[in-house]
Amino acid sequence: MSSTSTNNAQYARADNGPNSMPKKSKTQDDQNKEDEKNKKQAEKDLEKSWNDRLQLISVITTFFAANEAQMLSITTPGSGDTVTLAGVTANACLAGALVFHSAAAIFSFVAAFVLVRFRLKEAKLEKKNPSDTEKQPPQGIQSTNPHIAMQRVGYRQKVTEISVA
């Protein structure tokens, strides 16, 4: 029993000791890929959040519009009823609210479809053009100076002047 615990302790010291292999730190490319992944996930979460909100607004405004339509039918005076100022005011307010909530329900319903269409366009665009982080970097040293050209000589690179005529 004691030899097993001693061996486990030795392994633990070997993993954490000064002779152990250092952990690989993240390179800039790794960080860029992780940032791009996090950005895309945040965009998806934001789109989902807006889609859920728009659907909820559509349901709530449809509910309000249905209730207002029912109340409007109750407050509308019949042919033999007397018309009062309070009744006319209530009728006008309910009619305005009905128009407002009906328009909001239609607008949020259409906006939810626009958001879904935006998602589909983004997905198609992503399929056509993979992200820049997935592309391979150019090999060798690149220069924007037209007077310098790079030539490979064995394992070394040699810089030569090019005369521009």
What pLDDT does residue 92 have? Answer: 92
pTM: 0.51
The token pair at 69 is 């339509």
Q: Is 93 exposed, middle or buried (0-12, 13-18, 19+ CB in 10 A)?
A: middle
Question: How far is 43 from 50, CA to CA, in rounded Å?
Answer: 11
pLDDT for 136 equals 55
What's residue 17's pLDDT? 56
Determine the pLDDT at residue 112. 85
Please name the residue that has the structure tokens 């070997």.
14
pLDDT in tens, the chain (165 residues): 555 555 555 555 545 555 656 667 778 888 888 998 898 888 888 888 888 888 888 889 899 999 999 998 888 888 888 888 988 899 999 999 999 999 998 998 888 888 888 888 887 887 787 655 455 555 555 556 666 555 444 445 555 555 555
